[in-house]
Amino acid sequence: MKQDKPIVSAAELDALIQGWGSMPNQSVDRFFPLRFWFVTLITVFYCVYLLFWTDAVAQRMTSDPSELVRMSRFLYFRGWFLLVVIVLGVYAYLRNWYTAIVFSALFLLGCVNLVFDMFNVYAEVIARPTPRVTIMLMLRLTALWFIYLSVKNVSRMPDVKDRMNVLLMFKRSV
């Protein structure tokens, strides 16, 4: 049998992949905790609102009585879904548990949910937009943008001890 020898030596491989991944001299993203906790607070607000005032939310979304029951059930489920998302996101962030993968999945879920909601949940509401609907959609888009920035800057996350510090942007660098 012919002895296979490697095409690239270990030193050559190291030279090829030297610039990949996170760079050790990159600065910490000082706004990372602020963005994360902003998104978390918005999500907690929506979660509580959907779990405890489901009927009121459903009545704002549709005027059809048969659709009202379906919408109430869906929104109640969405509230529990948001609770799971919050727990998973906070756990991944604070424990450094596959943070990039979890945040990427949350970003993808958020985008899919927004598109789904535009055609199914907000269809009647968008036909007669109000300032409340506009603010809600702007908050959702802002949260998605912040999650995207978190995915993009995950290699620049602060140390675990600084992840709760929303005032990290004012901390002096050493």
Cα 46–Cα 167–Cα 85 angle in degrees, nearest 5: 30
- What residues have CB less than 8 Å from 22, skipping those under 6 apart? 155, 156
* pLDDT for residue 23: 56
* pLDDT for residue 55: 92
* pLDDT for residue 83: 96
Contact 47, 86 (CB under 8 A): yes
CB-count exposure of residue 60 (10 Å: 0-12, 13-18, 19+) = middle
Whether the predicted pLDDT of 19 surpasses 70? no
Mean pLDDT of 134-150: 95
Q: Would you list the domain boundaries of the chain? A: 29-155
* Sign of the Cα pseudo-torsion (84, 137, 113, 126, in order): positive
The rounded Cα 87 to chain-centroid distance in angstroms is 12
Whether the predicted pLDDT of 166 surpasses 60? yes
Q: What tokens appear for 66 in the block?
A: 């048969």
Instruction: Encode pLDDT of 103-117 as tens digits.
Output: 999 999 999 999 999
- What residues have CB less than 8 Å from 133, skipping those under 6 apart? 122, 125, 126
At 63, the pLDDT band (50, 70, 90 cuts) reads: confident
* pLDDT for residue 131: 93
* pLDDT for residue 163: 85
Mean pLDDT of 33-47: 94
Instruction: Encode pLDDT of 67-105 as tens digits.
Output: 899 999 999 999 999 999 999 999 999 998 899 999 999
- pTM of the predicted model, to two decimals? 0.79
Q: What tokens appear for 164 in the block?
A: 């709760």
Q: What tokens appear for 1 in the block?
A: 């049998």
Mean pLDDT of 138-159: 93
* pLDDT for residue 1: 55
